[in-house]
Amino acid sequence: MQNLDPRLDNDESAIRGGLGKISVGELRSSPSLKRKLLALLAVIGPGIIVMVGDNDAGGITTYAQAGQAYGYTLLWLMPVLVIVLAVSQEMVVRLGAVTGVGHGKLLKERFGRFWAAFSVVDLFALNLLTLITEFIGVRYALGYFGVPPAIAVTVMGIVLVGAVASGRFERWERFMLVLVLVSLLVIPLVLLTHWHVGGVATGLLIPGVKGGITSTATIFIIGIVGTTIAPWQLFFQQSNVVDKRITPRWIKYERADTFIGAIVTNAAAACVMIAAAAVFVGFKVGAFQDAGQLAQGFASHAGAITGVIFAIILLEASLIGAATVTLSTSYALGDLFGVDQSLNTPVREAKGFYASYILLVAISAGVVLIPSLPLSLVNLAVQVLAGVLLPSALLFLLLLCNDKEIMGPWMNPPWLNILATFIVSLLLQLSLILTIVTVLPTISVTGLLIGTFIPVVVVTVGVAIYQVKIRTPEHIDRVARLSWSMPASALLHRPPQSRGRGLVLLFVRIYLIIAVILMVISFVRLGSG
């Protein structure tokens, strides 16, 4: 998959690799189907990689454990999360293509160094923990084939460093796309298990939870949300779009790349959940507590080949998850400290970028080898932490996509702001429920769910009314829109610090502190239980 040409201000743009030049006349008309397909093939990469990368080792383990504990009854989350993924990552695509800079740099430019540092430090902590789960995954995956833990994590570390050391974006991307193809092994995995068609259909279409909505079920739901869409994805895909040099003229193709990825990643997650629900039905909840036991369980109860397939899927998930998560951290740190952070830059010219990548890999590999580390609990905690941090990350994303000075004609349309507000409110509702059941473990979670949904509706309706009042339709020439890009940073004005904006940022700060503290309390209780 080729890089696209750098940002251009003239009337023509070309895609390298023999696709020819696209003129202004062609921009005004509809290109042929062949040209559209060729353009999509040239652009495809960042969207599908970031999506499949989120089906990492922690994700695969969480989906399998959810299928084991709740059968098919949590499958309804998958189609819902397709929409959540598509909405959030489409905004990221536009930000990267229009601004040409990474997510962390935009946060610093528009919200100040404090909020940029706050977001990047949060991301660094979460990504370090996430990377640990990837090494946990490769330890279990290769352990299934008899490879000792020390050798397993060492080999993975060498592969991860080697994948980025070439200084060529195309080579790294090809490696990632090979892993994407390997992830399709979820199809034979689910086909080799005897799942119930009616149960799967009911689980996909009718929201519900086996045994009712308890505090543990709430933790699992937030964990599934957190592993399907995580804050690191925002930083990764925006910087990856910039690294690939995608401009506004190619946004519709990158959108298609992203939407395909959203469908593929959630379909794969559903396959793992269905396979686990079919194989482990009737077993005591928690009988298979980690990925290694899950692989052995598949082999024992669904045939040796399913155990091998699950272990290979886990290995692929560990590699692609580790590569994308680590790279997103290096991208974010580069944005914060203003250092060169591109896969197209040789190691000798971007030592800080590559050093941060290698350091993360080394620390995570070392932690996983600590004896008696509660690996299963660490895995679930990471997914839940991602779910807790996600609302604040999406809130900043929403504010950036409504910043007219940097987005110009690419600002969010009213309907997207309304939908995004509804999604962020739902995620905040889940975090609030987790907070309340931590303080009051005996409270009715079902009643709490209904009661906290009312503010979600009120906020969404309020935003809808506000959008109708403030937004007036503007006619923008298509060619002018496709040629528009963010002005140079020196020409930008800092957004006005209104009272409303200040209150929102204060709320985010308080929310994050309280939510993380109470999440820790929840997991201390879960671990002791």
pLDDT of residue 33: 77
Of the chain, the percentage scoring pLDDT greater than 90 comes to 17
Residues shown for the chain: 529
For the stretch 88-102, what's the b/e string if a residue is b when 16 or more beta carbons lie within 10 angstroms of its beta carbon?
Answer: bbbbbbbbbbbbbbb
pLDDT of residue 20: 38
CB atoms within 10 A of CB 373: 13
Long-range contacts of 11-18, Cβ-Cβ distance < 8 Å, separation of 24 or more: 11/483, 13/247, 13/249, 15/39, 15/42, 16/42, 17/42
Give 38-373's CATH code, choosing from 3.40.50.300, 1.20.1740.10, 1.20.1070.10, 3.40.430.10.
1.20.1740.10
- pLDDT over 70 (residue 102): yes
Contact 56/236 with Cβ under 8 angstroms? no
Question: DSSP H helical segments within 244-374, as ranges?
Answer: 251-279, 291-302, 304-337, 351-368
2-6, 467-471, 489-493: the lowest-pLDDT one: 2-6
What is the tens place of the pLDDT at every residue in 190-206?
999 989 889 999 999 98
pTM recorded for the entire structure? 0.81
pLDDT of residue 200: 92
Cβ burial, residue 526 (10 Å; 0-12/13-18/19+): middle
9-13, 132-136, 519-523: the lowest-pLDDT one: 9-13
The stretch 369-396 carries a mean pLDDT of: 74
pLDDT of residue 144: 92
- pLDDT over 70 (residue 439): no
Report residue 13: phi and psi, to 5°: -140, 150
- pLDDT over 50 (residue 23): no
The stretch 17-29 carries a mean pLDDT of: 42
Q: DSSP assignment of 138-198, as one string?
A: HHHHHHHTT--HHHHHHHHHHHHHHHHTT--HHHHHHHHHHHHHHGGGHHHHHHTS---HH
Domain ranges in the chain are: 38-373
pLDDT of residue 13: 40
16-25, 51-60, 406-415: the lowest-pLDDT one: 16-25
The torsion defined by the Cα of 182, 183, 185 and 187, in degrees rounded to 10, comes to -140
Answer with the residue of higher pLDDT: 376 or 183.
183
- pLDDT over 50 (residue 397): yes
- pLDDT over 50 (residue 11): no
Contact 430/223 with Cβ under 8 angstroms? no
The stretch 210-218 carries a mean pLDDT of: 75
Give the chain's end-to-end CA distance (angstroms, integer).
Answer: 49
The stretch 424-434 carries a mean pLDDT of: 78
What is the tens place of the pLDDT at every residue in 308-347?
999 999 999 999 888 888 888 878 877 777 766 667 677 7
pLDDT of residue 382: 72
Q: Which residues pair with 14 in a beta bridge?
A: 21
Q: 43-47, 322-326, 459-463 — which one is most confidently predicted on average?
A: 459-463
* 172 vs 449: CA distance, rounded Å: 44
The stretch 285-305 carries a mean pLDDT of: 82
Amino acid at 65: Q
The stretch 67-75 carries a mean pLDDT of: 90
